[in-house]
């Protein structure tokens, strides 16, 4: 096993060395940007990193300034999301909306446990008010089932979720899709972007089954580590949306 791990590590590309002293915020006709020692930062596709607010530009610059001797993209969630928007979401928004809508078609909140009774009650208490909110706020009435057998959601409800995604600008849409991916739920993602829930509250709601299992059988260290990484990913996506929407 040790040999396999060492071989896998050897195959990973080395992290680039830090090549700049200072990351600063810039402002121009295209919006806000980030410069490394005065040189404008670009996306992987060599596009200008034009950001919609000074607050988001400052957050991206802070990520670059915080890098040590090596540049670690895993520690730069705002930069990664900004690159995703500019190089991907902005050009493919309809496809991203459809991908987001797919989370509603199999939304976590619609699949309830039949037993134990304590878990079923916890799910109903935490999830049903959010489904009710989605119906009242967006006109998306999603059906609920028990067990894991897939159910079809009403097309008019999916159309309502689709419309909610399409109403987002590319910055919020990227955050919305990222949140839905972490939670397994379009409803939870919409609730976070609307301020109905904090990112951490939505993450806790999405982990009711895992929390119940851990209470019964104890926590697994690796599962705990993965959960912490996912929670941080959700927190970053929610913060990214808020920073992008901040007044310049």
The single residue listed with the structure tokens 């049903």 is 128
Calpha distance 196→198 (Å, rounded): 7
Handedness of CA 218, 220, 221, 223 (dihedral sign): negative
Helix and strand counts by DSSP (H, E) for the chain: 11, 5
What Å distances lie between residue 92 and 76, 135, 164, 174, CA to CA? 23, 27, 16, 11
2-73 folds as ATP12-like (3.30.2180)
Burial-class residue 46 by CB neighbours within 10 Å (0-12, 13-18, 19+): exposed
| Architecture of the CATH domain 93-245 | Orthogonal Bundle (1.10)
* N residues, the chain: 248
> Which 3 state secondary structure label does DSSP give 187?
helix
Task: Return d(Cα 168, Cα 174) in angstroms, integer.
Answer: 9
Residue 247's SS3 state is: coil
Q: Is pTM beyond 0.75 here?
A: yes
**CA 196 from centroid of its chain's CA atoms:** 16
- Residue 7 confidence (pLDDT): 47
- Which residues partner with 70 through β-bridges? 17
What tens digit of pLDDT does each residue of 145-185 get?
998 888 999 999 999 999 999 999 999 999 999 999 999 99
For the chain, which residues make up each domain, given as ranges? 2-73, 93-245
pLDDT tens digits for range 23-57: 999 999 889 999 999 999 999 999 999 999 999 99
CB count in 10 Å sphere of residue 91? 12
| Identical fold, 2-73 and 93-245 | no
């Amino acid at each position: 096993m040790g040999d396999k791990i060492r071989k896998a590590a050897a195959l990973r590309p080395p992290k680039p060395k830090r090549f700049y002293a200072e990351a600063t915020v810039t402002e121009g006709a295209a919006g806000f940007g980030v410069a490394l020692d005065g040189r404008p930062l670009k996306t992987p596709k060599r596009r200008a990193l034009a950001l919609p607010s000074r607050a988001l530009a400052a957050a991206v610059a802070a990520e670059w300034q915080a890098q040590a001797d090596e540049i670690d993209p895993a520690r730069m969630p705002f930069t990664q999301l900004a690159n995703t928007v500019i190089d991907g979401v902005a050009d493919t928004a309809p496809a991203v909306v459809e991908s987001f809508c797919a989370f509603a078609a199999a939304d976590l909140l619609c699949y309830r446990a039949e037993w134990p009774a304590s878990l079923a009650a916890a799910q109903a208490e935490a999830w049903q008010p959010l489904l009710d909110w989605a119906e009242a706020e967006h006109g998306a009435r999603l059906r609920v089932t028990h067990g894991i057998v897939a159910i079809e959601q009403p097309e008019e409800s999916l159309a309502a979720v689709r419309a909610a995604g399409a109403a987002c600008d590319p910055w919020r849409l990227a955050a919305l899709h990222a949140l839905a991916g972490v939670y397994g739920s379009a409803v939870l993602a919409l609730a976070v972007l609307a301020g109905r829930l904090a990112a951490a509250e939505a993450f806790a709601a999405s982990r009711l089954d895992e929390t119940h299992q851990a209470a019964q059988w104890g926590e697994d260290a690796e599962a705990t580590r993965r959960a912490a990484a996912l929670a941080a990913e959700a927190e970053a996506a929610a913060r990214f949306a808020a920073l992008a929407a901040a007044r310049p």
